[in-house]
Amino acid sequence: MKRLLSIAVLAFLLAGCGAAPERQTPSDELRDETPEVVAEREWQRRASSGRETEGEALPPVLRDGTLYIADRRGRVSAYDAESGRLVWRFGTGEAISGGPGVDEDFVVVGSRKGRVRAFEAPDGETLWEARTSGEVLSVPAVGENYVIVRGNDGRVYGLDRDSGSRRWVHDVSVPSLSLRGNGDPLLANGQVMIGFENGRLQALGADDGDLRWEVTVSEPRGSADLDRVRDVDANPVLFGGALYVVGYRGNVMAVNPANGQVYWDRELSSHAGLAVDDERTYVTDDRGRIWALDRRTGAAIWRQNDTEGLQPTAPAVHGDRVVFGDDKGRLTVLSAQDGRMLARIRVRDDATISEAPVSDGNGVHVLTDDGYLMRYRLRDRNDD
C-alpha cells in the first residue's frame, strides 16, 4: 500500500532527524503598521457545507467570469466571480476528492474510490462514469476531445470526452513514500504535461498517452526513504512559450514544451507552486519564503523573508501585486516589483487557507478551508 505524507507530518519527521531548516516565528502584523494597500471585501458566501474532512478545500476554478467550487461532501457550485451570485449548484451523491475540471457546462470530478463522473450543468445530469485504479486527488484536465485524469497510483488516463470510455492509460512507477496530493495535468497543444512522485515531468501525447519527452526536476538524495522524497506536486504553468515547473527538494525550471529542452534551472524546493507574469516567476519555497525570479533567465530578483515559518499557498499574480494565503487564515499582498509587503488581511478568525487565491484582474477570490468564498478589491491607500 502506498504511504502518503502530509507536509506537516514530513516537516515534523525531518525536524526529528535534524534535517529541517530552522524556522522563524513570523509576525502576525505588518512591520509597518500602516499598510500601503487597502483590501475591501466585496462579498462572502458559504460555498461548502462545513469544514472539509481532509482539512483542505478543493481548488476554486475560474472560467470566463465564473468560479467553480467542489466540496468533499459532493456538491459542485458555480458563482458569478464579480457579484458572488450563485449561478447553479447540484449534488453528486458521492464524496469528491479531485476537481472540478470544467469547460462551459461540462463538469468532471473524481472520488476517493477512483470513480470519475461527468455532469451537465446546471441541472447536474450525469453524462457518464468511468473507473480508475486509484484515488483522484487532482483536477481533471478537460479538452475538446479528451478528459485527462491522474490517479494517485502513478496512472494517467485519457478518457473520451463524450462517452468516458478509456482511450489510453500511461503508468509510471512511483516511490512508496511521497507527499499527499498530485499536481494537476496540463493539457495544451496536443500534449499532457504532468509531474510525478519520482521527481520527473513528462509530456504525453493527448491522443495516445505515449511519452513525448521527460525531464528530471528533483533528484533523490540520501539512502533512507524519507530523505528520497522528491515529488513534483506543484502544477506546471505554461506562459509565453515556456513551461514552468518546480519540485520538492529539487529545482525550478523553464522548459521548452515542444521537446523538453531546459531553458534554465536553479535549485529551489517547493511543494506549494508558482505563478508567472511577463517579467517574473514567483515561487513559494518550502521554508515559507516567496521568491521572484527573472522569467527568462531564472536569476533571483527579490525574496520576501517575513513569511518564513508560515505555510503560504502558491502565489497568484494580481496586476502589479502578488497575493497568497496562509495557514493563519490571512491574505498577504506583496509588490511584484520589489517584494515589499503591502498588506496582510485576516479573512476569517480560526480559518486556514490552503489553496492559492484566484484573480480575475479586478478582484481577488479566497476560499478558506472551512468553506467560505470571498472576494476582495485591492486599492492603494493613497487613493483615499
- Pairing state of beta strands 66-70 and 75-80? antiparallel
CB 369 within 8 A of CB 345: no
Domain that holds residue 104: 59-171
pLDDT in tens, 193-223: 999 888 889 999 999 999 999 998 977 665 5
Residue 71 inside a domain? The answer is yes
Res. 67: pLDDT tops 90: yes
Q: How confident is the model at residue 180 (pLDDT cuts 50, 70, 90)?
A: low
Residue 128 inside a domain? The answer is yes
CB 246 within 8 A of CB 270: yes
3-state secondary structure the chain: CCEEECHHHHHHHHHHHCCCCCCCCCCCCCCCCCCCEEEEEEEEEECCCCCCCCCCCCCCEEECCEEEEECCCCEEEEEECCCCCEEEEEECCCCCCEEEEEECCEEEEECCCCEEEEEECCCCEEEEEEECCCCCCCCCEECCCEEEEECCCCEEEEEECCCCCEEEEEECCCCCEEECCCCCCEEECCEEEEECCCCEEEEEECCCCCEEEEEECCCCCCCCCHHHCCCCCCCCEEECCEEEEECCCCEEEEECCCCCCEEEEEECCCCCEEEECCCEEEEECCCCCEEEEECCCCCEEEEECCCCCCCCCCCEEECCEEEEECCCCEEEEEECCCCCEEEEEECCCCCCCCCCCEECCCCEEEECCCCEEEEEEEEEHHHC
Res. 21: pLDDT tops 50: no
pLDDT in tens, 331-349: 999 999 999 999 999 999 8
Report how far apart, in Å, the C-alpha atoms of 196 and of each of 153, 278, 366 are: 10, 27, 27
CB 191 within 8 A of CB 243: no
- Top pLDDT among 8 and 280 is at 280
Q: How confident is the model at residue 183 (pLDDT cuts 50, 70, 90)?
A: confident
Residue 75 inside a domain? The answer is yes
Average pLDDT, the chain: 87
Percent of the chain surpassing pLDDT 70: 84
Q: What number is the average pLDDT over the span 299-325?
A: 97
Residue 214 inside a domain? The answer is no
- By CB neighbour count within 10 A (0-12 exposed, 13-18 middle, 19+ buried), where does 16 fall? exposed
Q: Among 167-176, 247-256, 257-266, 310-319, which is the least confidently predicted range?
A: 167-176
Report how far apart, in Å, the C-alpha atoms of 123 and of each of 74, 162, 215 are: 14, 18, 42
Q: What number is the average pLDDT over the span 28-43?
A: 77
Q: What number is the average pLDDT over the span 20-41?
A: 63
Residue 306 inside a domain? The answer is no
Task: Spell out a b/e string for 168-177, using b for 16 or more CB atoms within 10 Å of the CB, else e.
Answer: bebebebbeb
CA dist., res. 108 & res. 185, Å (int): 14
Q: What number is the average pLDDT over the span 135-142?
A: 93
Q: How confident is the model at residue 57 (pLDDT cuts 50, 70, 90)?
A: confident
Nearest alpha carbon to residue 127 among 101, 104, 107, 148: 107
Q: 275: Cβ–Cβ under 8 A, 6 or more apart, which residues?
A: 237, 281, 282, 314, 315, 316, 317, 322, 356
Tally Cβ neighbours within 10 Å of residue 140.
Answer: 26
Q: What number is the average pLDDT over the span 93-111?
A: 93
Residue 372 inside a domain? The answer is no
Q: Among 1-5, 167-171, 259-263, which is the least confidently predicted range?
A: 1-5
Residue 326 inside a domain? The answer is no
- Top pLDDT among 27 and 220 is at 220
Looking up residue 135, the CATH number of its domain turns out to be 2.40.128.630
Instruction: Look at residue 34 in the predicted model and tell me its pLDDT.
Output: 74
Residue 25 inside a domain? The answer is no
Domain count, the chain: 1
Q: What number is the average pLDDT over the span 312-340?
A: 97
- Please state whether the peptide bond connecting residue 100 to the residue before it is cis, i.e. omega within 30 degrees of 0: yes
Q: What number is the average pLDDT over the span 122-143?
A: 93
